[in-house]
Chain A
Amino acid sequence: DAGVTQSPTHLIKTRGQQVTLRCSPKSGHDTVSWYQQALGQGPQFIFQYYEEEERQRGNFPDRFSGHQFPNYSSELNVNALLLGDSALYLCASSLEGQGAADTQYFGPGTRLTVL
Chain B
Amino acid sequence: AQTVTQSQPEMSVQEAETVTLSCTYDTSESDYYLFWYKQPPSRQMILVIRQEAYKQQNATENRFSVNFQKAAKSFSLKISDSQLGDAAMYFCAYRRGDMRFGAGTRLTVKP
Contacts and interface: CB of A to CB of B under 8 A. Distances in A.
Interface stretch (A17-25, A65-73, A75-83, A104-112): A104-112
> Helix, strand, loop or mixed for chain B's interface?
strand
A19 to B, nearest CB: 18
Given A42-B91, A42-B104, A103-B50, A56 B97 contact: yes
A58 interface: yes
A102 B98 contact: no
B51 to A, nearest CB: 11
A32 interface: no
Given A42-B103, A45-B98, A56-B98, A103 B47 contact: yes
Interface residues of B, number: 22
B45 interface: yes
B33 A41 contact: no
Interface in B80-110: 91, 93, 95, 97-104
Contacts of A106: 37, 44-46
A48 B99 CA distance: 10
B1 to A, nearest CB: 10
Interface of B: 4, 33, 35, 37, 42-47, 50, 91, 93, 95, 97-104
